[in-house]
Amino acid sequence: MFLKLFSNPKPPPDDLELVRRYRQTGDMAHLGELFQRHTEMVYLVCLKYLRDEEESKDTTMQLFEQLATTLLKHEISNFKSWLHVTAKNYCLMQLRANKEQEKVKLEELDLPLMENTSLLHLIEAETHEQDELAVTEGLKTLPPEQRQCLELFYLQEKSYKEIATLTGCELSKVKSYIQNGKRNLKIYMEKNHAAR
């Protein structure tokens, strides 16, 4: 009893450990813990794209419901970055679906000029979504250091100094990883995305 009072409490498991436990046991409590940690971040991403508070709340809930199956299919090395990209892509797909509904309504009204405008927006949203997915795929092909630095810099909007602190790399190395990562990602995009 005396020892228990003075022993250090065990630190909570990190995100990847919770993901591992969930995949192993299917216990929704682990998913609930991830939800509590990242609800605000996901909600803010949704709000940025959907620009509606209620819709963003609903979408946040839908995303975490989907995680129950998605987490069983994907290997994840950085949960927060992966979740950020997943939320962004989910919102883009929702916007695209809304555009398609809009297009159908306009076709029913038989307004050719407006229909063409709506179709143009639909194509733009679809292209943007494909770009997002291509970047996500491209990141997976980069060396781990480059990928981590790019994700921290662009997805989590960290400064060079913050990245150096988080990764333990020198500032010059961080800049080099970001520069080389951007170049390699551009090469990947030109090679794979242009061919579509």
| Residue 152 covered by a domain | yes
Closest by alpha carbon to 47, among 28, 31, 60, 66? 60
Q: Could you tell me the sign of the dihedral formed by the alpha carbons of 65, 85, 21, 73, in that order?
A: positive
Domain range for 178 is: 143-196
| Residue 138 covered by a domain | no
Per-residue pLDDT of the chain (196 residues; tens, 9 = 90+): 445 555 556 788 999 999 999 999 989 999 899 999 999 999 999 999 888 899 999 999 999 988 888 888 878 888 898 899 989 988 988 888 777 665 555 555 444 444 444 445 544 555 555 666 777 777 788 888 988 888 887 777 788 888 888 888 888 888 888 888 888 888 877 787 654 4
Predicted local confidence at residue 117, as pLDDT: 46
| Residue 10 covered by a domain | no
CATH number at residue 172: 1.10.10
| Residue 73 covered by a domain | no
Predicted local confidence at residue 124, as pLDDT: 52
| Residue 96 covered by a domain | no
The CA distances from residue 163 to 120, 152, 195, in Å, are 39, 7, 34
Predicted local confidence at residue 21, as pLDDT: 93
Q: Give Cα 27 to chain centroid, integer Å.
A: 23
| Residue 181 covered by a domain | yes
| Residue 103 covered by a domain | no
The pLDDT tens digits for 79-99 are 898 899 989 988 988 888 777
| Residue 162 covered by a domain | yes
- Domains in the chain, number: 1
The pLDDT tens digits for 154-182 are 777 788 888 888 888 888 888 888 888 88
